[in-house]
């Protein structure tokens, strides 16, 4: 169900603490944790704790929460000291665009020379 925790969803399980993650920030409604396969020196994922299948679905259902996710992404960039040098926010949407986890998340990418590693996240 949209907006509820889904037992078979990787990021719902990370939010629930059933799968370990390296948390960098947490609020009542969001969690930020390091990507397991970093594509830049800073590579953090920010997710709403509630389940939405992608960013647009999140924004349609709960625009305030979508805004909170974006604001948290900016705070992660500040904490990670990439706000001044610059960073990318990426929302992959659909498997054809590389989305592999169907729980809304934004990639916060920065640091190094600005090049991505193996894949376009």
Contacts to Zn ion by CB under 5 A: 6, 9, 11-12, 51, 103
Q: Which of 51, 105, 107, 117 is catalytic?
A: 105
Q: What does 51 bind: ligand AMP, Zn ion, none (CB cut-off 5 to 8 Å by kind)? A: Zn ion
**Which H/E stretch holds residue 48?**
strand 42-48
In whole angstroms, how close is the CB of 112 to ligand AMP at the nearest point? Answer: 16
Whether 103 sits among the annotated catalytic residues: the reply is: no
Radius of gyration (C-alpha) of the chain in whole angstroms: 13
Residue 82: both structure tokens together: 């990439």
42 binds ligand AMP (CB under 6 A): no
Q: Which of residues 102-121 bind ligand AMP (CB under 6 A)?
A: 121
In whole angstroms, how close is the CB of 83 to ligand AMP at the nearest point? Answer: 21
Residue 27: both structure tokens together: 């609020």
Cα distance between residue 78 and residue 51, in whole Å:
26
What residues pair up with 32 in beta bridges, in sequence order? 25, 46
Active site residues: 105
């Amino acid at each position: 169900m949209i907006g509820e925790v889904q037992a078979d969803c990787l990021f719902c399980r990370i939010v629930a603490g059933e799968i370990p993650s390296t948390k960098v920030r947490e609020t009542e409604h969001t969690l930020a944790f390091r990507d397991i396969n970093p594509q830049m020196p800073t590579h953090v994922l920010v997710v709403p704790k509630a389940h939405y299948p992608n960013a647009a679905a999140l924004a349609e259902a709960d625009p305030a929460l979508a805004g909170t996710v974006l604001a948290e992404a900016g705070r992660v960039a500040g904490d990670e000291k990439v706000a001044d040098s610059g960073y990318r926010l990426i929302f992959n949407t659909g498997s054809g665009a590389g989305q592999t986890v169907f729980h809304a998340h934004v990639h916060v990418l920065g640091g190094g020379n600005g090049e991505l590693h193996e894949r376009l996240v």
